[in-house]
Amino acid sequence: MVRFREVWESGVDELARVLVIHGPNLNLQGTRETKVYGEETLAEINRRLQTEGARLGLEVDCLQTNHEGEIIDAVHGAAARCAALVINPGAYTHYSYAIRDALAAVGLPAIEVHLSNIYTREDFRRVSVIAPACIGQITGLGSEGYLLALQAVERMLGRDKPSGQEVSG
């Protein structure tokens, strides 16, 4: 959480960019397993993210990739440019120590988002190796989860600093 202190102390305006990373198979959103993931396309979700970002005064960049290394590069790149990350790592959630290490290495506040509720599905989905490197996780609320993550970022950036919240470091 050291990074939060830096963000709070260095002023919000120049750092109010948020990178949203959509991991593998999310490009198929709207057509794959619609009963589980819904019928919204990724383009529609990204449009809603842009709209919500504009409302909150956040600059939102969206990236989708099916490749683990590209997610890691994006996390590294975000360190210099972004105040926070929102990440749906797709199936990498359940086994990518490399993505977890990247998040831990950059120390940016990250929120993990899942469209489906990973705790009500197959056993292998009930474990997130990414969550310990994140400040929080939103799961099972469909695409609303991404919007809620943006709202949480906006509050935690200090414009609406939560009272009583510990800032270590």
Q: Nearest distance from residue 140's CB to ligand DQA, in Å?
A: 8
Show contacts with ligand DQA in window 72-101 (CB under 6 A).
88, 90-91, 93
Question: CA–CA separation, 137 vs 135, rounded Å?
Answer: 7
Interaction of residue 114 with ligand DQA, rule CB under 6 A: yes
Residue labelled with tokens 């120590």? 97
- Which residue, 88 or 96, is less far from ligand DQA as judged by CB? 88
Classified as helix, coil or strand, 32 is coil
Considering only 48, 125, 155, 159, the residue that binds ligand DQA (CB under 6 A) is 125
Q: Given the rule CB under 6 A, which of 3-11, 40-48, 112-120, 148-156 is the region that contacts ligand DQA?
A: 112-120
Query: Annotated catalytic, 94?
Result: no
Catalytic residue, from 37, 92, 95, 146: name it: 37
The site map against ligand DQA for 1-30 (x = CB under 6 A) is ------------------------x-----
Question: CA–CA separation, 17 vs 12, rounded Å?
Answer: 9
Question: CA–CA separation, 83 vs 157, rounded Å?
Answer: 8
- Which residue, 7 or 87, is less far from ligand DQA as judged by CB? 87
In this structure, the number of other CB atoms found within 10 A of the CB of residue 148 comes to 17
Question: CA–CA separation, 94 vs 48, rounded Å?
Answer: 27
- Mapping DSSP onto H, E and C, the string for 91-130 reads HHHHCCHHHHHHHHHHCCCEEEEECCCHHHCCHHHHCCCC
Query: Annotated catalytic, 37?
Result: yes
Residues marked active site are found at: 37, 114
Residues binding ligand DQA (CB under 6 A): 25, 88, 90-91, 93, 114-116, 118, 125
